[in-house]
Amino acid sequence: MYDSPMTMITLRGQEVWALEPKKGPTVLLLHGGLSSSASMLGSIGPQLKKSFRVAAFDRRGHGRSPDNDEPFHYADMAKETIAFIEHLQRRVHLVGHSDGGIVALLVALERPDLLKRVVVIGANYNHRGLLPTPKFSESSPGFSEWAEKYAALSPDGISHAGIVAKKTRYLYAHEPFLHQTDLRGIAVPVLVMAGDDDVATLRHTCQMYEAIPEAQLAIIPGASHGLLKEHTKLSVKLIVDFLKGEIPPVTTAPLRRRAKNS
């Protein structure tokens, strides 16, 4: 499906699986938690590659990338992402879903010089913005099925699945802890996307949009946290239109954004 080489590389002393495209306008896909790059590469990737080079990597402890004894922290994931972009030796667009969206926000704050534009999908900037959901553990319905999928890719095997789930539960209970004042420091164009029945409250999602200077907002109706698979064509159209469109957009009666050339 992808002409780019898929290989194992070393980022910050850790071996990870990566998809490295040839030079050109590049979109880096950042996958969600308890997931891997395969999810986004299989849903929006095929359509995005018609307009962009598509890059991806599996974060430590996810997909084909082995884990280590360290806990999961979004700050570490952001550093890992920065190292991968530096490895690519080009500025990129970031398209992050769920945890990948949180990582994209942190990278935008820390290294805007590496980025062109950012799409944040189904993400939260503070852990308090999530709707109440059952904690995912080895006793949860569906855990066995997820563990088998995890083991099908992971070099750590099925015995490590419970450890990854435990690390992820702790992460979600305590992070991220950004505030709206932090988001005001983002200096790259951002599209905030979510389903109308997503994991973060709509109020939280709108607060993210309102806090990021000149951000754009897309709430997809009839969609859950799985919006990229539920509404793939619409999601890709919104993403491509944003990545290729004018910034700021030209509108009839701008109120929130400055008028063009002002």
All structural domains of the chain, each given as residue ranges with its CATH number in brackets, are: 6-244 (3.40.50.1820)
Q: Which residues pair with 177 in a beta bridge?
A: 126
Is residue 176 within 8 A of residue 102, CB to CB? The reply is yes
Q: How many CA atoms lie within 13 A of 121 on its CB side?
A: 28
Whether the model clears a pTM of 0.95, i.e. scores above it, the answer is yes
Is residue 143 within 8 A of residue 136, CB to CB? The reply is yes
Q: Which residues pair with 155 in a beta bridge?
A: none
How buried is residue 25: exposed, middle or buried, by Cβ count under 10 Å (0-12/13-18/19+)? middle
pLDDT digits (tens, 9 = 90+) for 46-69: 999 999 999 999 999 999 999 999
pLDDT digits (tens, 9 = 90+) for 198-244: 999 999 999 999 999 999 999 999 999 999 999 999 999 999 999 99
